[in-house]
Structure 1
Amino acid sequence: MTERIRTPALAPPPIRPAVPRADDPSAFLEAHYRHVWQTRMHDLPFVNAALTVEAIGFARHEGDWLGVVITPWFLNLLLVSGGGQLWGDIPAGERRYLNLPCGTMQFIADDDPDIGPYQYCPLIAPVDQLPDMATARLVAADAIKTVFGPPASLAETPPAPVAEEKTEVSRRGFFRRLAGKRN
C-alpha cells in the first residue's frame, strides 16, 4: 500500500511588527553593523577594507527615520520605524514602493534578530568601486539630498524666458526687418 504524504501549503512568512524608535537610530545601526563587520564579514572577498561603518543623514520623514548606512559591503538607504505614516509592516523579503520627495522608490523588508524589522533601498553593492570613506560619505550625502529633494524632472525645469521689452514697430520698420534690414 502506498502512503500519500501531504505537504502543507506554504504559509507566508510571519510579520514581526516594528517597534517605533523615538530617537535617531544612527548610533544603534552603526553599533550593529560594526559588530557584523567584526564577527561575520571581515574576511569575505567582496568587502572593501577602505570603508568603515557609518550612518549618514538620518532624519524623520512623515514620522519615520530615513538615512544612509555605509558598510564595507553595501551602501543602502534605510527606513526605520519611528511610529509615522511612511512605515508599513510587511514580511521580510517583500518589496514595497514609497512615495518620497524625489519620487517613488522601491524598498525591501528585512527583519534582523538584533535590530528588528527595517526596510532598505540598495544604492551600491558591492562597494568595491568606492576608493575611500570620504568618497562613500559624499555619495551618501548626495543620496540623502536627492531623496529629500524634488523629482529630477521638476528640479531641472528650465527657468521661464525673460519677457523682452517690446517696442512699437512702424509699418515701415516691420517691412525693413522683413527684408533683413535694421533700422
Structure 2
Amino acid sequence: MKKNNLILGMLLTAAAASAQAQPSADAERLDAVAERGRHVMPFHLEKTLHVFNKTPHGGIQQVIAKDAGDAEQIALIRRHLLDIGQGFKQGDFSRQRRIHGDDMPGVAELAAGYAKLHFDYRELPNGAEIEYSAEESSLIDAIHRYFNAQLSDHARHAVGGKPEQCRHKMHRHGAMRPSLPKE
C-alpha cells in the first residue's frame, strides 16, 4: 500500500513538473472532454489516473485508481477497459469519438486497420491496462498520435510514460513523463 502511494505521488509530481512536455488542450476543451467522458467512462476521473506509455510497437494505456484500496473504482476501471478493448478488436472506437470528436488524431487509422492491430487487456492490482501493438509503422504512428491526443485532452487526469526508441521514422517523440512500474 505504501509502495503504491509512493509511486502514485511520484507520478503526480512528475505530471505537474512536466506539463509542458505534451501540450494540453485549452481549459474549455479540457472541461468539455471531461464532461463528455463522464457519460462514457463509468469511473470517477478525479479518483483515477490515465497513463499512456508509447512503446516501439505501439503503447500501453493504463487506468489506475489513485487509492489502491478503492475496490469500486478498480472494478469500474477493469470493466470499462475490458469493454473498450473488446470493441477495439472489432474496429469500434465510437466511445473515443464521443469523448474526443470524430477528428481525434489516429482514431480513423486505428479503426480502419483494426484487423492488423493487437489489443491485449490485463488487470493491474489497482486498475487495468490495454497494450496496443502493430507491425506496420503507419499503425504504430497512429497509436502514438492517439496517445498524444489522449494526453492533451485528459491533461488534468493523465500522464505519459517513459520515451521508447521507436523502430519507425514517422515522427519524433517529445519529452515524456515516467510511467507506473509493473509489479
User: What TM-score, normalized by structure 1, do the two folds share?
Assistant: 0.31
* Larger proportion of helix: 2
Structure showing greater relative contact order (alpha-carbon pairs closer than 8 Å, 6 or more residues apart) = 2
- Whichever of the two has the greater Rg, that structure is 1
User: What TM-score, normalized by structure 2, do the two folds share?
Assistant: 0.31
* Larger proportion of strand: 1
